[in-house]
Amino acid sequence: MRPPIETTVSIGNPTFDGVNGYDNCPLTWQDVSDSFYNKWVSLNTVVATVDYYGTHTGVSAASTTSNTSGYLQGVKHAPSCPQLYANPSGGVKVEVPTSISVSLGSKVTYNGGPVTLDGNTLLTACYGYSRLATYTVLDQVGAAILNSSLTASENVSVVSSNPSGGTTTTAKKPVALNAAGQFRDVLAFCFNAAPPPQPGEFVKSKQALTINAATRTWT
Helices (H) and strands (E) in the chain, counts: 0, 19
Residue 4: per-residue pLDDT: 55
pLDDT at 77 over 80: no
| In the predicted structure, residue 78 carries a pLDDT above the cut 70 | no
Q: Mean of the pLDDT values across residues 115-131?
A: 94
Q: What is the pLDDT of residue 215?
A: 81
* Per-residue model confidence (pLDDT) at position 206: 96
159-211: pLDDT as tens digits: 999 999 999 988 889 999 999 999 999 999 999 999 999 999 999 999 999 99
The answer on pLDDT for 127 being more than 60 is yes
3-state secondary structure of 109: strand
- Give me the DSSP letters along 43-70: S-TTTEEE-TT-EEEE-SSEEEEEE--E
pLDDT tens digit sequence for 14-69: 889 888 887 777 778 888 899 899 999 999 999 999 999 999 999 888 899 999 99
Q: Which has the higher per-residue pLDDT, 75 or 69?
A: 69
pLDDT of residue 83 exceeding 80, the answer is no
Entry pTM? 0.77
Domains of the chain: 7-95 (2.60.40), 99-218 (no CATH)
CA distance 160 to 89: 56
pLDDT at 87 over 90: no
Chain segment 130-152, per-residue pLDDT in tens: 999 999 999 999 999 998 889 99
CA distance 170 to 153: 9
- Per-residue model confidence (pLDDT) at position 98: 95
**CA distances in angstroms from 212 to 141, 166, 183, listed in the order given:** 19, 29, 13
Which of the four pLDDT bands, split at 50, 70 and 90, describes residue 89? Answer: confident
71 pLDDT more than 90: no
Tell me the mean pLDDT in the region 114-129.
94
